[in-house]
């Protein structure tokens, strides 16, 4: 997949803003997240995630369904959050 930035992605303004605040800036990065991963991120609720899934589907893409990746991402997010609080 070529590097496509999320500002070129048809998604709701709220979902777009939440993705940017969570440093998810490209579609290639976004598709590594599962629905559960996205729902754990600040500012992304059920409607925003549905908007993201719909936008990805229009491009023939989908969120990750890899359970191991979801667990790894949960650990990484927790470590990132801990570093922000300590920093």
Question: Could you read off the pLDDT of 30-75 as tens digits, one per residue?
Answer: 998 999 989 989 999 999 999 999 999 999 999 998 776 666 666 6
Architecture of domain 6-86: Orthogonal Bundle (1.10)
Task: Collect all residues with Cβ–Cβ distance below 8 Å to 34 and sequence separation of at least 6.
Answer: 63, 64, 65, 66, 67, 69, 70, 73
CB-CB contact of 64 with 34 (8 Å): yes
Domain chopping of the chain, boundaries: 6-86
Q: Phi first, then psi: what are they for 23, rounded to 5°?
A: 60, 35
**What's this model's pTM, rounded to 2 decimal places?**
0.74
Top pLDDT among 81 and 57 is at 57
Per-residue pLDDT reduced to its tens digit, 42-51: 999 999 999 9
């Amino acid at each position: 997949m070529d590097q496509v930035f999320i500002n070129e992605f048809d998604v709701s303004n709220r979902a777009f803003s939440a993705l940017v605040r969570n440093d998810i800036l490209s579609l290639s990065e976004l598709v590594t997240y599962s629905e559960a991963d996205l729902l754990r991120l600040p500012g992304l609720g059920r409607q925003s995630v549905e908007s993201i899934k719909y936008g990805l589907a229009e491009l023939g893409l989908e969120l990750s369904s890899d359970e191991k990746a979801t667990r790894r991402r949960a650990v990484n997010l927790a470590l990132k959050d801990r570093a922000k609080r300590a920093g």
